[in-house]
Amino acid sequence: MNLNEATSQRLPDRERAIRQRLKSDFEHYALKCLKIRAKDGATRPLILNRSQRFLHERIEDQRRRTGKVRMLVLKGRQVGVSTYIAGRYYWRTTHSKGYRTFILAHLDDASNNLFGIANRFHDNCPALVKPVTGTANAKELSFDLLDSGYKVATAGNKAVGRSDTIQLFHGSEMSFWPNAEEHSAGIGQAIADAPGTEDVRESTANGIGNVFHTMWVRAVRGESNFEAVFIPWFWHEEYATEPPADWHASAEWAEYGETHGMTIAQVYWGYCKNRDLIVKSGGDLNEPSLKFKQEYPATASEAFETSGEHAFIPALRVLRARRTIVKPYGPIILGVDPARGGGDKTGIIDRQGRRMGGWVCSRLDYGDDLMPVAGEIVNLAKALVPRGLKIICVDTTGLGAGLYDMLKERLGKLVLPVNFSSRALENEKFVNRRAEIWDLMRQWFEDVAGVQVPDSDDFQGDVCAPIRGKGATRFDSAGRLLLEDKEHIKERLTYSPDLGDAAALTFAVDMRLLLESEDDEEWQASNTRHSRSSVTGY
Q: What is the mean pLDDT of each run of 10 residues along the chain (538 residues)?
A: 49 80 93 90 92 97 97 93 96 93 91 92 90 77 90 78 80 90 84 93 88 91 93 94 95 92 96 89 80 89 70 88 92 93 86 95 88 95 95 92 94 94 93 95 92 92 86 86 89 87 94 56 46 35
What is the C-alpha to C-alpha distance for residues 245 and 222, in angstroms, rounded to an integer?
47
Q: Are 363 and 345 in contact (CB under 8 A)?
A: yes
What is the predicted pLDDT for the residue at 437? 96
Say what the pLDDT of residue 207 is. Answer: 81
Q: Within its chain, how far is the Cα of 101 from the centroid?
A: 27
Contacts 24+ apart (CB under 8 A), 154-157: 154/104, 154/105, 154/106, 154/107, 154/108, 154/110, 154/111, 155/104, 155/105, 155/106, 155/179, 155/180, 155/183
**CA angle, 198 then 25 then 18, to 5°:** 135
Rg (CA), the chain: 27
* Chain centre to alpha carbon of residue 327: 27
Distances from the Cα of 252 to the Cαs of 29, 264, 383, 435, in angstroms? 43, 13, 43, 27
DSSP-assigned letter for residue 201: E
> What local confidence, expressed as pLDDT, does residue 488 receive?
87
Helix and strand numbers (H, E) in the chain are 20, 19
Q: How many angstroms separate the CA atoms of 111 and 84, rounded?
A: 15
Nearest to 274 by CA among 299, 308, 310, 249: 249
Q: Got the DSSP string for 259-272?
A: HHT--HHHHHHHHH
Q: Residue 26: which H helix or E strand, with range?
A: helix 26-33
Q: Facing residues of 102 across strands?
A: 151, 169
- Chain centroid to CA 114: how far? 25
Strand partners, 347: 337, 363
Q: Are 522 and 530 in contact (CB under 8 A)?
A: no
Between CA 61 and CA 57 the distance in angstroms is 6
- How far CA 31 is from CA of 84, 237, 448, in Å, comes to 12, 18, 48
Scored b (16 or more CB within 10 A) or e, 272-311 reads ebbeebbeeeebeeebbbbbbbbbbbbbbbbbbbeeeeeb
End-to-end Cα, the chain, rounded Å = 66
For 121, half-sphere exposure in the C-beta direction (CA atoms, 13 angstrom radius) is 28
Q: What is the rounded distance in angstroms from the CA atom of residue 316 to the CA atom of residue 318?
A: 5
Q: Is 113 exposed, middle or buried (0-12, 13-18, 19+ CB in 10 A)?
A: middle
Q: Is 43 strand, coil or helix?
A: strand
Strand-strand pairing, 481-482 and 100-105: unpaired
Enumerate domains of the chain plus CATH numbers. 5-231 (3.40.50.300), 251-307 (no CATH), 322-534 (3.30.420.240)
Pairing of strands 474-475, 481-482: antiparallel
Asked whether the beta carbons of 373 and 403 are under 8 A apart, the reply is: yes
Of 64, 25, 21, 28, residue with least CA distance to 46: 28
Contact between 143 and 135 under an 8 Å Cβ cutoff? The reply is no
> Residue 419 has what DSSP assignment?
-
Note the helical H segments in 468-527: 486-493, 498-505, 511-516, 520-526
Rounded Cα distance between 329 and 326, Å, is 9
